[in-house]
């Protein structure tokens, strides 16, 4: 059973608009969440993270929101650019659980010019 789920396999957005990528998790013991971005033929690259003691973290055009009661996090990209087209993975980590990141299945974002 997947502990981290990204229920939308793909998302299409017009350039300049907001992209919202969603991620749900089931394990309430997770205390750190990360988003990775992956272009074709490249490995994932770290994008942004958030600790469970926060509900928002912002870095330029990227903002991650965490709703612990709903076990839900989202990544907002504003404004979206064609270069943002990629697969986005959310991942979760639990303290004292070794070095294990649990990944979601990914959402493919397509930003249309």
Partner 1 sequence: ETGVTQTPRHLVMGMTNKKSLKCEQHLGHNAMYWYKQSAKKPLELMFVYSLEERVENNSVPSRFSPECPNSSHLFLHLHTLQPEDSALYLCASSQEGGGARETQYFGPGTRLLVL
78/57 Cα distance (integer angstroms): 14
Residue 103 phi, psi (nearest 5)? -100, 150
- R_g (Cα) of the chain, nearest Å: 13
SS3 82: helix
Tell me the window of 10-18, 20-28, 40-48, 65-73 that interacts with partner 1 (CB under 8 A).
40-48
**Site for partner 1, residues 1 to 20, rule: CB under 8 A:** 2, 4
- Specify the residue, 8 or 49, whose C-beta has the smaller distance to partner 1: 49
Tell me the window of 17-25, 57-65, 73-81, 99-107 that interacts with partner 1 (CB under 8 A).
99-107
> Nearest approach, Cβ of 22 to partner 1 (angstroms)?
15
SS3 32: strand
> Nearest approach, Cβ of 55 to partner 1 (angstroms)?
18
Q: Which long-range contacts (CB under 8 A, 24 or more apart) does 49-56 make?
A: none
53, 69, 83, 100: which one contacts partner 1 (CB under 8 A)? 100
99/19 Cα distance (integer angstroms): 30
Residues near partner 1 (CB under 8 A) are: 2, 4, 32, 36, 41-46, 49, 89, 91, 93, 95, 98-106
């Amino acid at each position: 059973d997947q502990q981290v789920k990204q229920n939308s396999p793909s998302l299409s957005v017009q350039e300049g608009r907001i992209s919202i990528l969603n991620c749900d998790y089931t394990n309430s013991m997770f205390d750190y969440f990360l988003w990775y971005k992956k272009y074709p033929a490249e490995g994932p690259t770290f994008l942004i993270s958030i600790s469970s003691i926060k509900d928002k973290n912002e870095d330029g055009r990227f903002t991650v929101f965490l709703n612990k009661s709903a076990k839900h996090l989202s990544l907002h990209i504003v404004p979206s650019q064609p270069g943002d087209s990629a697969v986005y993975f959310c991942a979760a980590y639990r303290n004292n659980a070794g070095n294990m990141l649990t990944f979601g299945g990914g959402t493919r974002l397509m930003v249309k010019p």
